[in-house]
Amino acid sequence: MKIVALDGYAANPGDLSWDELKTLGDCTVYERTAPDELLQRAANAEVLLTNKVVISAETLAALPQLKYIGVLATGYNIVDTNAAKERGIIVTNIPSYSTPSVSQMVFAHILNIAQQVQHHSEEVRKGRWSSNPDFCFWDTPLIELRNKKIGIVGLGHIGYTTARVAIGFGMQVYAYTSKSTLQLPPEIKKLDLDRLFAECDIITLHCPLTEKNREMVNAEHLSLMKKSSILINTGRGQLINEQDLANALNEGKIYAAGLDVLSQEPPRADNPLLSARNCYITPHIAWASTEARERLMNILIDNLKAYIDGKPINNVAK
């Protein structure tokens, strides 16, 4: 069985091992694959592994030997699953591997904004504390999270884990979710989207990207938010209209944003959020803790072994 990993570097830049995968077949791991390299590298492969390399219907039509696609992520919109299903190709994803790490990053951003950790650390390095007449200094608002309202858009595994952390901070938790009120614990209250944006101090996005919710965070919804509010996005960059968010930040319509994802990655140098006021951006690393990537690699192997045994699991093309 020929196995080809098209872009293995992000999941395993060298600190983990591909050895177990290589016991399952004739395996080639490429660090990265450009679109014009895809068909040559994937030729005659029964198994393709991809993280962000797009597998279109046209690509599938050109790969008659292909039987299995393993997506090295939870989201699988990079694969045309309808075309795969029509061709009898199994497509698996890696569910829930990054839940603790992503919810941790949500609060890394929240706490950085609330306490201005990065800013004050940099000011200390500049000598401002050493030259200060008092035993302490701060030059931004410092925000306590207790009793603040956090609105969670999407209450899957990550959204729910984020809610539990928020409850631990003593926050009031609200959610925009397809779940019924009866399915929610008493600590989580359900709100419609407009009320969530209008009433909550912090909004955090945890929904999958669909055509219906693309750029759901736009001028209209941002205009509902409080001037003191904070937006967090560790989901998908395309959930936000980036120019609208940059305008809202620069004009003081909302207080701050913490983002781990952008609509294009790496971002264009002229992305308006890169220079927007109070916009804190990390380079899509919420998922990338060592522990999360170890889980990813283990689930990858479990998925592939289940396929080999004729009992596929985590199949998203059915």
Interval 51-60: pLDDT, tens: 999 999 999 9
Q: How many distinct structural domains can be found in the chain?
A: 2
Residues 92 and 241 in one domain: no
Q: Which residues are catalytic?
A: 236, 265, 284
Amino acid 308: pLDDT: 97
Q: For residues 249 and 294, state if they share a domain.
A: no
Domain-located, residue 42: yes
Residues 6+ apart with CB under 8 A from 273: 242, 245, 246, 249, 257, 259, 262, 267, 279, 281
pLDDT the model gives residue 208: 87
Task: Give the separation between CA 145 and CA 82, rounded to whole angstroms.
Answer: 44
Domain ranges, residue 137: 99-281
Shared domain for 191 and 247, answered yes or no, is: yes
Residue type, 168: G
Can you list the residues of the chain whose pLDDT is less than 70?
none
Asked if the structure places residue 121 within a domain, the reply is yes
Same domain, 149 and 234: yes
> What pTM value is reported for the model?
0.92
Report the pLDDT value the prediction gives residue 18, as an integer from 0 to 100.
Answer: 97
Do both 92 and 8 map to the same domain? yes
Which residue's structure tokens are 């007449």?
133
* Residue 318 within a domain: no
Burial (0-12, 13-18, 19+ Cβ within 10 Å), 202: buried
Alpha-carbon distance 136 to 130, whole Å? 10
In a shared domain, residues 31 and 117: no
153 lies in the same domain as 231 = yes
pLDDT at 209: 87
Same domain, 135 and 269: yes
Mark whether 171 and 303 lie in a shared domain: no
Q: What's the pLDDT score for residue 171?
A: 98
Residue 210 belongs to domain with CATH number: 3.40.50.720
Give tens-digit pLDDT for 231-266.
999 999 999 999 999 999 999 999 999 999 999 999
Q: Are residues 90 and 128 in the same domain?
A: no
